[in-house]
Structure 1
Amino acid sequence: MFSEGSHFFSERPLTISMILGGLLLFGILAFLKVPVTLFPSASYPGLSVSVEYPGADVHLVEETLTIPIEEMVSSVGGIEEMRSFAERGRTEINLEFQKGVNLDLKSLEIRERIDAVAGNFPREVHKPLIFQYDPDQKPILIISIESKKFDFITLRSIADHEVKSYLENIEGVSKVAASGGKVREVLVACDLQKLRAHGVDLQEIQRVIQANNQSASIGSVQKEGLKYNLFLSGKYRSIREIQRQPIFSKEQNRIFYLEDVADVSFSFQDEASASRLSGKEIVSIFVYKSSVGNILDIAKAVQGKLEGLKIPDVDFRIVYDQSDSIRKTYSNVAVCFLAGVILMFVLMQKFEKNAFTDTRLTILLQFPLNFFIIQFLLFLLKVEFDLIIAGAEIVGFGVWLFIYKFLCERKDPGVGIFKFRNTLGELISFVIVVLALCLPLYYLDRDTGQSTLRLGVFLSLFVSLSYVLFIPLHASIKMVRERYFRSYHSVPVANTVQDKPSRLIRPGNRLFAILYIAILLFGVFRLVQANKELFYSAESKRIIGYVELPAGFNFPQTNSITKNIEAKIAGTEGVADVTSKVEPGHSLLVINVDESKSKPDDLIQDLRKNIGNVDPAFCYFSRESEGSRYKEIRMDALGDDYDKLDSLTKDLANRASDLLGTSDTVLNYKSPRDELELSLNNNKASGSSLNHSEIANFLKTAIQGSVVSKYVEENRELDIKIRAKEEFRNSVTSVERFVVKNQVGKYVPIPEVSSKTETKSPARISRKNKKRVLSFSLRASEDSYRALQAKVLDELNQGLPENYHVELGRSVEKAIEAENRLYIVIAFSFLLIYMVFASYFESLTRPFEVIATILFVFFLNLICSSLLFGKISLPVYLGLLLTIALVSFQILCLGKILKDTGSGFKREIYLVLCALFLFQILFSREGGRFLMELETTLLLGIGLSLAFTPSIFFRFEEFFRRGQSLELRPLPIQNQEPVFFEEVKPPIKKAKKAKKK
């Protein structure tokens, strides 16, 4: 079949050229449409239930909402972990499900269960909301809004009412938030004494404004045969209309105006956020992406919309863009790969002395052809192009060079081009081995195995395309050369096969056995003990800073402390600029690094030194790339009593920090804050014709304020807020002077129906799997997660009170689970390799020779790579898998031709591959470290395989044959055909054969 195909390729080269050209064109078109990202994105399998209970304190929310909902949803199948929190006025229950669960069906099931219990909730409780959530959300874009004409008030209004709504409908955007500036509102500041003198209260003022600030459609009337819609316009058109709003007093039986009892004016909302760029106050827009959003697509869409949003005298500037890292990553990868290809062909030119010009050109053109064909397949399958696929194609190109050279090493190499009929078995076996290595981990853990699966599938696809399209492409190039470039010719290359196996490892059997066992034992030790990070994100030159303050710190206090920290950061050498987002109790800092002056890791240490002690705040820094992967050790302390749990958690955090030797300890909760608690006397309240809801609503409106309606000014809506004047709410004693109008129109002082006590109350009560929990995190630990579990967890659980214990956070548990799966996957992969070779050789014993050889090279490469990088990361693991596949392929070729390739052949192919990957390894700038680790591990594996595989394989072949009824011939000497074993056949069979003849 293949011989006929070869004739077809030689007879119809122009047809083949047009087919290949058509595939190339479709691939180029698809390349423009395929989404690009750094790493595979996966939807987080989580659902969240959110319920609001206005006015309820933390404990009431926990008892009334959180616990009943937990009891109802905990029996839903597939829940990995349930975390919830209760805070003033609301609760949220976050459910993490097993991978592959249909969240739409689970959402319906949870809705049914919550509806069953919602009938017991108080009337004030809002309808529960169920939505999908992602626990690791951070801004991907920060947009500065600047103007020389408008002040911060106008800029913030533009951000809230024009920019936010304009960007929120972009696909993949989960949230758009504005920060900085001041938000205008219409404030109705009521004098409580004047209200009481006129016989009205805050609720009546609220009802009057709501009833008189609305329009209504009345119906229609006819006039002279025409139909007119009747519309009643009642919206306030000026601030004066609000001030002159009439109010009827039943007690005085007269009408008075709102301005008689309240100051109505334009004001600003209480500041709750700020944004700065290098110390300068700005108005910013923060854009967040959903778990499945594409950063490049979102950034492109945002830039396009900002260009189309023409607002006079307003400029938009993107001060932070995560997509820059992606562009720099692929630019760096492309430049390094191109430089590597050029250097590779310079070496090939030197080694082959202008030989095989057609073949060399074919190999060069295979990469763009395969690249665009794969782009076309990605477009059809609706799969994003990421760094894993790019790495599979780049590494696949190097692997194909390795495979091609071995495929051409045959007794009858012809003109140096392999033949389908005698090489298909090795190629298919190689692809099966690669898939057997890469598929199992995906079935055990899709998050960890997704990258492994992509690398295996697309590398196998690249190599298969190279194999299948090599002869057609070569025929097309030859046709072009013969017709248009007759002076251009190709020369066959000499066979480099030598007749004796490599002598690199030729010690005695006992010494070899000791060496082999030592390598295996130390390799297993490194596999178990080395720190494993089977996740990855491209490194970035930005640093993310976090400022956390204890509970009770308001915005002005947080803003003042953050300003001081920003000034110290800006004064540190190596800092280009700092962008901040400040909110009550915490701040986010994005720091750009000037690479000419400092490296990010060194700068983090300088920042910590310059900032020093900033008590009561806690400030820590991390690389931007570390935010999306797990770089902190989170631990959960579970118990019943919150105060006791708070004290225990602080002590546990200090003990854990001492055990691990790290100074960065972060409490992931706010300590209890001072509160003034009003305890309502139900008997007195009922006797005064009051209830809990009426008192709570009055106090909330008087102190915090309530938005009762909207005022439209120049097509922009402003809140109309009602609250008491500042002198009635500026101190603790103000509460004692409050009076509430009851249902019969009498005023009741608050102290008559309640008692006041000062206490401490948690800002938030967190729960894990239906038990109260407080968490702390330790950062920058180099211990493996298994060592952490053995060294820290058992130690912390000693001496704890009954019903109190410490657990690892879910992220650490996942890392340990992934490590356990890794051992299973490696064992399972070797079993699959045994089955592949058993079917290839049609033997149950010969695969053991292959496995024994692979184990030696695999563990030797693991030792070298783990010591070089200090850990087994995802790219190192992928490089080890590819090493196994290449060793397997080399053994296939050795087993078929029974010869070892010459040292010159090995040296040339290894130098060519080193040249291809050299620039990526040496210049692994932003985003290139993933490929650097992968390619370095692969080059180590190829070097070890070329050096040791033939000797070890032939030695094990000899060893295994001695244990069978086989007669071994001596090792071949030079110029002798190498036959390593011959089966001894019984004499009776020879007699039968002679008789038949």
Structure 2
Amino acid sequence: MTAFFLRNRVTTLVTFLLILLLGAISIKDLKIDLLPDISYPTLTVITVYENVSPSEIETLITRPIEEIVSSVNGVDRITSESLEGVSIVKIRFRWGTNMDTASIQTREKVDLVKGSLPIDSKKSIVLKFDPNDAPLLQIAVVPTGINPKELRYFLKKNIAPYFERVDGIAAVSITGGYEKQILVNIDRGKLNSYSLSPSEVIQRIGANNFNFPAGNIKRDDREILVRTMGAYENVDSIADLVVNLSESGAPVYLRSLAEILDSYKERTSASFYDGEECVALVLKKEAGKNSVFVSDEAKEVIHFVNEEFGSKLKLIIVADQSVFIRDSIGGVASSGVQAIIICFFVLSFFLGTFRESIIVTLSIPVSVLVTLVFMYFQKMTLNTMSLGGLAVGVGMMVDSSIVVLESIFGFKKKFPNDSVKSSLEGTKDVVGSLFSSTLTSIVVFLPILFIEGIAASVFKEFALSITYSLISSFFVSVSFIPVLCTLPFFSKEQTNDGPFSFFWAFREKSLNILEELYVFSVKFVISNRRKVTLSVLALIPLTVLFFKVLPVELMPQVEKAEISAKIILPAGSSLEKNTEISRRVVEILNQTGLVARTFLKAGYEEKDLIINPKGDFGLNRSELFIGLTSYDVAEDLIEKSQEALENLHNETGAQILFIPAKDLLSDILPESGEGLTLEVSGQDLTVLKETCEEIRRDLSELPNFTEATSSFSEETPELRVLIDRDKMAGFGLSVENVAKTLRAVIKGEQATRFRRNDDEIPVLVRHRLSDRSGTESLADTLFKIQSGSFIRLRDFSEIVSGFSNRKILRYDGRRVGIVKAQFTDIKYSEAASLAEPVLKKYSDRKDISILPGETQKMMEKSIDSLTFAIALSILLVYMVLASNMENVGLPFVILFSIFVSGVGVAIGLILTGKTLNIISVMGMILLAGVVVNNAIILIEFYQLHSKDYRTTEELVIAGGRRRLNPILSTTATTILGLLPLLITFGPPSPQGPMAAAVMGGLVVSTILTLVFIPMAYMAYVENISKFTRKK
């Protein structure tokens, strides 16, 4: 192959220029995103049944849906929430399930059960969870001249269409502000005097709002359409509606018994930006679109709107997902560039000339661009995983080129006047070992194809990008590098005189000292085999010990210049009270001087349940986004505001829960970023409630635990109407009549929609406020009976106060309570260890069971899967080595490098403060394919030159001398190439744990390989000789 490239050098150079051009084009066309396209296998079934209690929702809707969907193929787990008026059933499928097929099957099953659900319940909605549904941009809209009550409508009609026209924007939603509504507030006394019931008024308002075609009539030769024109023209025409006739036959107008207001809906949410009330715009991206480009386009619209409509309103970006994506991608790319620069200087030191360093360093960008071409045709995206693979691979890309270059310059001494011949022979001499080492580095990623779960989905593109980069670097080393070495600039002799002569002299002296020190170490090891062997074997239990003390988590946390908080007031608190307390929280946080901006959303909107079924909503709840002055001040903010917030809690009962730093998977995993979660299951709700509350109290008292909550902590106050069925039946009423009348009186009922211009405004009918406030007013609610007379609610019922569960949770058919505990300054595994003594108290209970939450289960499963992948990787490496060497025993000597690297991995993670997570475990898989390369280089020399030396000891010492420089140079480039990922000047890199694991493992493995492999090889040869002599 190399001969072909050398015979066609111009063609080769032109081909590589073409590849570089394609690579540059690929950079422009590759989509940019934070993570690979991960399809989390979850479907959500949402069914609305208004004004029904959680217990009835569970019985009438949740259980039937759970039972029917459990038969869908691939179901792994079913969880549900039964709240007031809504059932949410979440179906998690096994990884690898075809979600399009699963979605169709689930819809079919839900349609089958529809007939057994209550008639009044709305049609069930089946939603497919998509991580891309996370908002791309959240925008606060502050009024500057427009009436705040008109802001939401103005946005909907005049501003939202600009964003909807942006290519890549899937949806624009508006929250907060005021929504138009026509209110018909009925006077109960007047309604009674005119012998009308609320339902009769509602029916007549709805029945008189029609423009209806009656058909065509003929007039001469023409067809004329006949239309009945009865739709309301304005609010006055609603007030002028005749709803009854008096005893004298005079019309009774609606305005006679009700107040009709052109007003606004009763608010259930309010938004504030930096303390000023606003309306929020939320932009979502289409799946597959480039997040950064779409965000840039949307920002142009924001700039245009602010200039065009600045006298009315101002748009301010609250949160921009593309900023974090850009910073993350930019950080990884910057680390890659820094790694290239570091590699150049490292290579200059070990290779001894700038010329050779330039040749090898040139192979890096060439290999990267070739890799980008592969990625483009594989439809991969530029994300933290794929780019992380490239950044990690930068130091590895030069390994093949270093070996080829050293071999070529070695042959130049044999063919000083023939650069083509020396390039050809030098490449041919090492291409076999290069192929073997590249194959061992690649084959370790093969097990990723055989594991399931989040780890496989996240790391597929990482594995592919490293694989492509290593294939590219091998291809470049046997084609591009030999051709470069024949060019006049690179082929002529170079002296080390000149301004850098002192550096070259220092380098020569340092390497000589290093070589002598190495030879001394090898001789010492050989003469003290037993002691050294025992010392190395002692590393095994030491490695196990180190790994036991390492904190474990699913993914490393990502530090951002922002933090979130939840504010929870006592159940039953009004929106007004919620808003007041939440704004006081914002004031306290602002006083710390660490807050750059805040965005507060108090309460909820009904569509939130559909938009975000993962959320937890209520009038007593607020979500607070806090932009910080720096990414590293979150803990200072919490500490400085702690005392004031505790005082506020003691005064108002409000809980303020800060959401800890999230990881890259926080928008994908169900509980990511929610602290320690426990599932307490049992059938008796009372027992569940008591147990969860006990666990909550116990966890709250543990060190480092800041706040613990239970799903039963929040009970909703309620008034229960206890009906005397005998009395009710005597009046000719039914429970349905009573319930619907009470709903119409209190909550109101939409009678019709009033069309104004191109907008439809709902008309809501209910009793005026004074007739629906307090228990006495409720008891005086009137019901029209068959005789035409009226009775009061108190005549056939009793009203009592009580509390009800806000929601009922079920996991796989079992009722559960969830206890969540936030913690600080410790990792997830440390928090779980602290909680163990608390949970042991309940281990003997037969009526309940306690299981870890989803995050811990997924963490354990992912690390178990990756541990299996490591074992399989080692086996594959052995198979590759055995087949290449045609020897089943010698590869075990090489595999020693893998086993001793474990202690280096643990030390690297401990010294850098990193955790054991799926990123660092992935580094261990990568390490398994890298650390053997140094041993391969030594063993290959021993085999090729075994007959050139009298004794095995002379052979191994000579091999160490000859191979010391290439081993140190390839190791140094790999280790120092990872340094920018480990040491950053901003937030820590997501690949930091991987870099720490690989660097630590490679340092220890290289040192032990250089001094222990020679001894192990000698032992192997001696044992083989003894075995041969015995035979």
Q: Give the TM interval when normalised to the shorter protein.
A: 0.7 to 0.9
Question: Given that residues 870 and 925 in structure 2 are in contact (C-alpha distance below 8 angstroms), is that contact kept between their aligned partners in structure 1?
Answer: no
Partners of 1:946 and 1:503 lie apart in 2 by: 17
Does residue 953 (structure 1) correspond to residue 998 (structure 2)? The answer is no
Q: 2:558 and 2:287 mapped to 1: Cα distance?
A: 17
Distance 1:100 1:863 in 2: 36
SS in 2 for 1:964: helix
Q: Find 1:446's aligned residue among 446, 453, 461.
A: 453
Which of residues 368, 376, 382 is equivalent to 1:371? 368
SS of structure 2 residue aligned to 1:711? strand
| 1-structure distance, mates of 2:910, 2:295 | 37
Counterpart in 1 of 2:1023? 963
What secondary structure, in the 3-state scheme, does the structure 2 residue paired with 1:155 have?
A: helix
> Retained in 1: the 8 A contact 2:908–2:1001?
no
Mapping 1:173-212, distance limit 5 Å: 177-212=173-208
Give the whole-Å Cα distance in 2 for the aligned partners of 1:736 and 1:33: 68
Change (3 A) 1:172 1:514: farther
The question of 1:605 aligning with 2:662 is answered: no
Which deviates more from structure 2 when the two are superposed, residues 767-776 or residues 867-876? 867-876
1:387 lines up with 2:372 in the alignment: no
Equivalents in 2 of 1:403, 1:625: separation in Å? 39
Q: Retained in 1: the 8 A contact 2:140–2:279?
A: yes
Asked whether 1:414 is paired with 2:405, we answer: no
Q: Which residue of 2 aligns with 1:614?
A: 648
> Distance in 2 between the 1:250 and 1:292 partners?
65
Match of 2:1002 among 942, 950, 959: 942
> Quick one: distance in 2 between partners of 1:478 and 1:207?
91
Deviates more, 1:839-848 or 1:416-425: 416-425
> What is the DSSP-based 3-state SS (H/G/I as helix, E as strand, rest coil) of the residue aligned with 1:24?
helix
Question: Alignment partner of 1:797: what SS?
Answer: coil
Task: Choose which of 299, 306, 309 in structure 2 pairs with 1:303.
Answer: 299
The question of whether the paired residues in 2 share the 8 Å contact of 1:13 and 1:475 is answered with: no
Residue 432 of structure 1: aligned partner = 439
Unaligned residue ranges in structure 2 (runs of 5+): 413-421, 497-503, 604-618, 943-958
Alignment partner of 1:329 is 2:374? no
Q: Secondary structure at the match of 1:723?
A: strand
Q: What is the rounded CA distance, in whole Å, between the counterparts of 2:290 and 2:690 in structure 1? A: 43
1:620-647 deviation digits (Å, cap 9, x = unpaired): 2235534444561100222233233222
Query: Cα deviations across residues 34-61 of structure 1 (Å, max 9, x unaligned)?
Result: 2212222412211122222233222222
- The structure-2 alpha-carbon separation of the partners of 1:528 and 1:27, relative to structure 1 and needing over 3 Å to count, comes to same
Match of 1:964, as an amino acid?
Answer: I
- Opposite residue 401 of structure 2, the aligned amino acid is Y
Which residue of 2 is the match for residue 992 of structure 1? none
- Structure 2 residue aligned with 1:979: none
Task: Answer yes or no: is the 8 Å Cα contact 1:167–1:176 preserved in 2.
Answer: yes
SS of 2:116's partner is coil
Q: Which amino acid aligns with 2:762?
A: D
CA separation in 2, counterparts of 1:880 and 1:429? 20
Shift of 1:921: 3.6
* Partner Cα distance (1:473, 1:487) in 2: 13
Superposed displacement of residue 204, structure 1 = 2.2
Cα RMSD of the aligned pairs, angstroms, is 3.5
Q: 2:983 aligns with which of 914, 917, 922?
A: 922
Aligned equivalent of 1:595: 630
Tell which deviates more after alignment, 332-341 or 139-148.
332-341
Paired position in structure 1 for 2:611: none
Give the superposition deviation at 1:157.
1.8
Return 841-850 or 417-426, whichever deviates more. Answer: 417-426
1:319 Cα shift?
2.2
Partner deviation per Cα, 1:483-524 (whole Å, 9 max, x = no partner): xxx799564999999899754463412221221122111112
Shift of 1:239: 1.8
Alpha-carbon contact 2:698-2:838 (below 8 Å) kept: no
| Distance of 1:633 and 1:118 partners within structure 2 | 37
Asked if 2 retains the 8 angstrom alpha-carbon contact of 1:785 and 1:815, the reply is: no
Which residue number in structure 2 is paired with residue 980 of structure 1? none
Which residue identity is paired with 2:634?
A: P
- Structure 2 CA distance, aligned partners of 1:234 and 1:262? 21
Structure 1 residues 786-823: Cα deviation after superposition (integer angstroms, max 9, x where no partner): 964992475142464x4222221122112122233343
Match in the other structure for 1:862: 906
CA distance in 2, matches of 1:131, 1:907: 55
Secondary structure at the aligned position of 1:382 is classed as coil
8 A Cα contact 2:168 2:285, kept in partner: yes
Task: Kindly indicate whether the alpha-carbon contact (under 8 Å) linking 2:866 and 2:918 is maintained by their aligned counterparts in 1.
Answer: no
What code does the residue aligned with 1:542 have? E
* 1:558 counterpart = 2:602: no
3-state SS, counterpart of residue 551 of structure 1: coil
1:292-347, Cα deviation, whole Å (9 max, x unpaired): 88643553454355567766744322122121112122333334443443354345
SS of the residue 1:923 aligns to: coil
Quick one: distance in 1 between partners of 2:537 and 2:662? Answer: 40
Q: Which amino acid aligns with 1:958?
A: M
Q: Residues 376-426 of structure 1, C-alpha deviation per residue, up to 9 Å, x if partnerless?
A: 333322222211211221221211223432444559832486855343433
Given that 1:670 and 1:763 are in contact with CA atoms closer than 8 Å, whether structure 2 keeps it comes out as: no
Aligned position for 1:33? 29
SS at match of 1:872: coil
Instruction: Give the deviation of 1:193 after TM superposition.
Output: 1.8
- Partner residue in 1 for 2:567: 547
Q: Work out the CA distance in 2 between the residues paired with 1:808 and 1:424.
A: 52
Equivalent of residue 532 in structure 1, options 552, 560, 565 = 552
Work out whether residues 907 and 1000 of structure 2, in 8 Å CA contact, stay in contact via their aligned partners in 1: no
> Which stretch of the first structure deviates more once superposed, 888-897 or 103-112?
103-112
Contact preservation (8 Å) 2:551, 2:830: yes
One-letter code of the match for 2:684? Answer: D
Are the counterparts in 1 of residues 710 and 819 from structure 2 also a CA contact under 8 Å? Answer: yes
Deviation at 1:567, TM superposition (A): 0.4
TM-score, length basis structure 1: 0.88
Matched with 1:973 is none
Counterpart of 2:499 in structure 1 is none
Instruction: Give distance in 1, aligned partners of 2:350 and 2:67.
Output: 73
Q: Distance in 2 between matches of 1:47 and 1:824?
A: 29
Q: Relative to structure 1, is the Cα distance of residues 115 and 930 closer, same or farther in structure 2, using a 3 angstrom cutoff?
A: closer
- Once structures 1 and 2 are overlaid, which stretch shifts more, 541-550 or 913-922? 913-922
- The reply to whether residue 518 of structure 1 matches residue 538 of structure 2 is yes
Q: Give a deviation string over 1:11-40, Cα, whole Å, max 9, x none.
A: 333322332232233332332222212222
Q: Is the partner of 2:931 in helix, strand or coil?
A: helix
Contact 2:20 / 2:366 at 8 angstroms: preserved in 1?
A: yes
Please, which moves more after superposition, 621-630 or 284-293?
Answer: 284-293
Q: For the Cα contact (< 8 Å) 2:211–2:231, is it kept in 1?
A: yes
Contact 1:529–1:784, Cα closer than 8 Å, also in 2: no
The change in CA–CA distance for 1:902 and 1:102 in structure 2 (over 3 A counts) is: closer
User: Aligned partners of 1:791, 1:155: CA distance in 2, in Å?
Assistant: 53
CA distance in 2, matches of 1:387, 1:175: 26
CA distance in 1, matches of 2:168, 2:710: 32
Q: Deviations over 1:420-452 (max 9, x none)?
A: 534343333334333443332452233113344
Seen in structure 2, the aligned counterparts of structure 1 residues 846 and 912 have a Cα distance that, compared at 3 Å, is closer
Partner of 2:607: none
- CA distances 1:947-971 after superposition (whole Å, capped 9, x unpaired): 221222122222233333449xxxx
1:734 is aligned to 777
AA of the residue aligned to 2:74: G
SS at match of 1:16: helix
**Which residue is equivalent to 1:971?**
none
Shift of 1:99: 0.9
Contact 1:545 1:589 in 2 (8 A): yes
Question: How many Å apart are 1:544 and its aligned residue?
Answer: 1.3
Deviation at 1:841? 1.6
Q: Is the 1:793–1:807 Cα contact (8 Å) retained in structure 2?
A: no
Alignment of 1:193-272 (within 5 A): 193-220=189-216, 231-249=227-245, 253-272=249-268
Q: Are 1:782 and 2:827 matched, yes or no?
A: yes
What is the SS of the residue equivalent to 2:455? helix
1:883-902, aligned counterparts within 5 Å?
Answer: 883-898=927-942, 899-900=959-960, 901=962
Structure-2-length-normalised TM-score: 0.85
Judge which range, 622-631 or 762-771, deviates more. 622-631
The alpha-carbon deviation at position 561 of structure 1 amounts to: 1.2
Cα distance change on mapping 1:889 and 1:228 into 2, 3 Å:
farther
- Aligned-pair identity (%): 20
1:887–1:621 distance in 2 versus 1, CA, 3 Å: same
SS at match of 1:664: strand
Distance 2:5 2:220 in 1: 86
